[in-house]
Amino acid sequence: MKYLLDFLDDLKGRIEGQKKTLLLDYDGTLTPIVNTPREAILSQEMRSTLESLKDDPDLVVAIISGRSLSDIKSLVSLDGIYYAGNHGMEIEYENESYVHPDAKNMKDMISRICSELKPRLDNIEGKIIEDKGLTASVHYRMVSEENVPRVKEIVSSIMARYVEKGDIKMTRGKKVLEIRPNIDWDKGKAVEWVLESIDITGSDRTFPIYIGDDRTDEDAFLAIKNKGVSVLVSSGAKDTEAEYILYNVEEVRKFLSWLGRIG
Ligand SMILES: [Mg+2]
């Protein structure tokens, strides 16, 4: 894979003078992976880097996260940027907003699943069950290694009925099981929605740059293939659709501040 910081001159040639849309995952991309979701706080440096980027009139910033929209908004809390929550099922930009209609209808099912999960996982220390409205997560980063298979088994057994009916699907992230409505919508679709929305409001086409670290970001990498630049954040090489790699969050910050400088 191409290490992005070695290819900045190439990239400059591709994007200089163009309007750009910077699409960013949050956890593992803008903040290091931490033990509990609550601990993932933007560093002061990252915050001011994002702040200066969003003030650039030729650049649009979008945060696309698996967290709920309200959660990601309050963590980043910058105005004038796009926010997409629940893997893109809910999107907001100033007074414009979108919620996937089928996902909205399945909120009750997601909350029912969470209330089925809670008692069954009750005696497993370290798990975190998160009802995020349109989707849910079961985090097991803090669960002892010998209990992890049990967590997966319990979740799969409760999910089986819903999955069989075609209502729900499960995806995996870094030490997290994601419970999502079985609809044809993902971070890639959210990226397309954001780019189209910019295309309608603005006069010019915009060059997309997507940075993410996890499996759900692969859909977004695919969505901008041959249209923009995709970057995987990973400490080592991986099977990915992304064109470039950065090794950690600090390198993401370096790249973002470079992007702010080239204009
Ligand atoms: Mg991530």
Full pLDDT tens readout for the chain, 263 residues: 899 999 999 999 999 889 999 999 999 999 999 999 999 999 999 999 999 999 999 999 999 999 999 999 999 999 999 999 999 999 999 989 999 999 999 999 999 999 999 999 999 999 999 999 999 999 999 999 999 999 999 999 999 999 999 999 999 999 999 999 999 999 999 999 999 998 776 656 899 999 999 999 999 999 999 999 999 999 998 999 999 999 999 999 999 999 999 87
Angular region, 157: left φ>0, alpha ψ -120 to 50, beta rest: alpha
CA of 203 to the centre of ligand 1 (A): 31
CA of 28 to the centre of ligand 1 (A): 5
3 state DSSP class of 136? strand
CA of 159 to the centre of ligand 1 (A): 23
CA of 148 to the centre of ligand 1 (A): 21
Q: Supply the pLDDT for residue 204.
A: 65
CA of 163 to the centre of ligand 1 (A): 24
In degrees and rounded to multiples of 5, residue 137 shows phi and psi of -130, 145
Measured CA distances, 225 to 228, 231, 236, 237, 244 (Å): 6, 11, 21, 19, 12
pTM: 0.94
Contact 24, 211 (CB under 8 A): yes
Contact 105, 98 (CB under 8 A): no
CA of 212 to the centre of ligand 1 (A): 6
Indicate the helix (H) or strand (E) that contains 210: strand 207-212
How many H-runs (helices) and E-runs (strands) does the chain carry?
A: 9, 13
Q: Supply the pLDDT for residue 203.
A: 58
CA of 174 to the centre of ligand 1 (A): 8
Contact 24, 63 (CB under 8 A): yes
CA of 124 to the centre of ligand 1 (A): 25
Note residues around ion ligand 1 (Cβ under 5 angstroms).
25, 27-28, 213-214
Q: Which of 103, 100, 122, 23 is nearest to 64 (CA)?
A: 23
